[in-house]
Amino acid sequence: MRVLMTSWGSRGDVEPLVGLAMALRELGAEARISAPPDEELAASLERAGVPLVPLGPTVHSVVAGPKPPTGEDALKLAPALVAARFETLTPAAEGCDVLLATGLLPAGARDVAEKLGIPYVYAAFHIFGHPSRHFPPGARPGTPSPAGETDIRTLWRQDAERVNALYGGALNTHRAAIGLPPVDDVRGHVFTDRPWLAADATLCPSEGMTDAELVQTGAWIRPDDRPLPDELEKFLKAGPPPVYVGFGSMAAHAPKDIARVAVEAVRARGRRILLGRGWAGLTSIDDAGDCFVVGEVNQQALFRRVAAVVHHGGAGTTTTASLAGAPQVVVPRIADQPYWAARVAELGIGVAHQDPTPTVESLSAALTTVLTVETRERAKVVSGKIRTDGATVAAKMLFDLVKPA
């Protein structure tokens, strides 16, 4: 069996596909991934031995400017990505048995699969974004809902209209070019009636939470056995477990002055600091020996050795920290991150710092809670409930999907 997977997004949108590709390979299938050509993503796929088919522009070039992307930027990016998917995925999917898509709304992927006559699967890493009677849609570029509108069904209908405005014109133009009829509900078309949910059921319970018939596989965790760098090992062994602070691919979205705030807040609790450089470029504020800056490392190994993890609340980071049993302070920035922050708090494994701009005082107060024995013990209990076989479950489901009737 040959599988093409595609995603346009940062590391958190691509790494789970690498985990799934490795699980497929264990079962004898071939898998390739079409994703943005960012250097760190390309290096990650190469390390795993998974072929990369470059798709669209780099994510870094779009999101890592001095200011966050604007609505106007999104109106240009959406049709460009639709065109890129038709152009890139059509030849890449030739000879494949199934096409799986995730990441930033992958309009165009299902249409390529439809033209080639192969099954299509849409997968998400959270429930955020799926129509629901329990919560409203998140922000999306386009005409905003009227001020004061509170009816959830109306808000979701207006969200579908914004999706159509972003993607509909380009999608239907490209569908017509390959002889396919137009689509009038792009969001529903992309999501399908039975989208897959690649998230752990303990961290992200889904039953009855959305209108869709979600198929929950568990999180797609990529095995990582890389040793930690020698200098990092020396730092870890030189004192008590430090507090890790990192905001991943958040660049312009990272909290203002977060490195200084974090260092001072952690020091106020008498702890050492590990700063994850990330796209925000976090660096130490002085030459004191209690602070160490790391780049891209094996977080699965690192998080087992820290006192707590302060992060932005991406699905991948939340899952990795939870699996490691590390207490968390989540400072959500965009999209699904407030959801993960809320779940961390609900589970008692950390604190949701909902104010997007932490102060030394507020972050220090959050750390006071997460550095307690009670929070650490609860984090260890929850860690034991998280399943690690989600990628294998999904790989077997893909095999079942393409079995002859």
pLDDT tens for 45-95 read: 999 999 999 999 999 888 876 777 787 888 899 999 999 999 999 999 999
Angle (deg, nearest 10), helices 11-26 and 390-402: 70
Report the pLDDT averaged over residues 335-348: 94
Report the pLDDT averaged over residues 108-113: 98
Question: Do 207 and 304 share a domain, yes or no?
Answer: no
Task: Examine the pLDDT at 343 and tell me if it is beyond 60.
Answer: yes
What pLDDT does residue 405 have?
53
Which structural domain range is residue 189 located in? 2-221+388-402
- Which residues touch 173 (CB under 8 Å, ≥6 apart)? none
Question: Do 214 and 324 share a domain, yes or no?
Answer: no
Question: Do 216 and 262 share a domain, yes or no?
Answer: no
**pLDDT tens, 164-206?**
999 999 999 999 999 999 999 999 999 999 999 999 999 999 9
**pLDDT tens, 10-54?**
899 999 999 999 999 999 999 999 999 999 999 999 999 999 999
Task: Kindly indicate the confidence band of residue 227, based on its pLDDT and cuts at 50, 70 and 90.
Answer: very high
Task: Examine the pLDDT at 133 and tell me if it is beyond 70.
Answer: yes
Question: Do 136 and 247 share a domain, yes or no?
Answer: no
What pLDDT does residue 354 have?
84
Sheet of 350-352: strands edge to edge?
Answer: 291-294, 273-276, 243-246, 308-311, 328-330, 350-352
Question: Do 215 and 234 share a domain, yes or no?
Answer: no
What are residue 274's DSSP bridge partners? Answer: 244, 292
Question: Do 393 and 377 share a domain, yes or no?
Answer: no
Report the pLDDT averaged over residues 111-115: 98
User: How far apart are the two ends of the chain, measured CA to CA in Å?
Assistant: 15
**pLDDT tens, 362-398?**
999 999 999 999 999 999 999 999 999 999 999 999 9
> How many whole angstroms separate alpha carbon 236 and alpha carbon 101?
39
Task: Examine the pLDDT at 256 and tell me if it is beyond 90.
Answer: no
Least confident of 63-77, 187-201, 255-269, 340-354: 63-77
Question: Do 202 and 255 share a domain, yes or no?
Answer: no
Question: Do 121 and 205 share a domain, yes or no?
Answer: yes
Task: Say which CATH number the domain at 356 has.
Answer: 3.40.50.2000
For the chain, how many structural domains are there in total? Answer: 2
Task: Kindly indicate the confidence band of residue 253, based on its pLDDT and cuts at 50, 70 and 90.
Answer: low
Task: Kindly indicate the confidence band of residue 252, based on its pLDDT and cuts at 50, 70 and 90.
Answer: low
Question: Do 169 and 100 share a domain, yes or no?
Answer: yes
Question: Do 270 and 139 share a domain, yes or no?
Answer: no
State how far Cα 180 lies from the chain centre.
31
Report the pLDDT averaged over residues 128-146: 91
- Amino acid 321 reads A
Question: Do 129 and 176 share a domain, yes or no?
Answer: yes
> How many whole angstroms separate alpha carbon 372 and alpha carbon 350?
10
Burial class (CB in 10 A: 0-12, 13-18, 19+), 264: middle
Q: Provide the token pair at 50.
A: 């998974």
Closest by CA to 341, choosing from 372, 332, 139, is 332
Mean pLDDT, the chain, whole residue set: 94
Question: Do 204 and 329 share a domain, yes or no?
Answer: no
Task: Examine the pLDDT at 251 and tell me if it is beyond 70.
Answer: no
